[in-house]
Amino acid sequence: MDDVDAVRERKILVAVDGGEESMYALTWALKNVISQNSKDTIVLLYAKQPPVVFTALDGTGILRPRSFSGYLFSSDIANLAKYRDDLAESVIERARRLCRDLNNVKVEVRVEPGDPRDVICEAAEKVGADVLVMGTHGYGLIKRALLGSVSDHCSKKVKCPVLIVKRPNN
């Protein structure tokens, strides 16, 4: 049992996204796992979903995203990219505020591009997380049914302890 980490100087990786589930998980961890007086650092991790893949095979010169029935002009693409950036920023800002209000703890932020499943597993390794905290609904309903939940995937793959927090009545 000698290799169990001590309480101090832990890195607590919390995966956040636009859903209430991840904010609930963060709140729960702040109240139940993170010590007020310790040297804990919360690492807020946001996975920025990859951009739609564009193809222009119909000779129009207008970019057409796969899985999208209409055409997109460059202004639309810029708007989409801006929307993704704004969303990431607003989620991180909300998570930061929770950390400040509930448990004035040290916070680091990582916004990384990619599928949440890969981003979270890789970050846990890179950061050297002592524990990974997640909500349960990182994907939409259909994608979750096809791929399994993000938390299922990560709890199997990640080596550090994983805390899965369900939002009540979900």
- What's the min distance (Å) between Cβ of 32 and its own copies? 6
- Binding residues (CB under 8 A) for its own copies: these are 1, 3-7, 10, 23-25, 27-28, 31-33, 35, 98, 130-131, 151-152, 155-156, 159-166, 168
SS3 (DSSP) at 157? helix
Task: Work out how close the CB of 74 gets to its own copies at its nearest, in angstroms, rounded to a whole number.
Answer: 40
Q: Are strands 54-55 and 64-65 parallel, antiparallel or unpaired?
A: antiparallel
CB of 147 to its own copies, least distance (A): 15
Closer to its own copies by CB, 32 or 90: give it.
Answer: 32
Give the 3-state DSSP-derived string for 51-90, with helices as H, strands as E and coil as C: CCCEECCCCCCCCEECCCCCCCCHHHHHHHHHHHHHHHHH
Residue closer to its own copies by CB (options 1, 142) is: 1
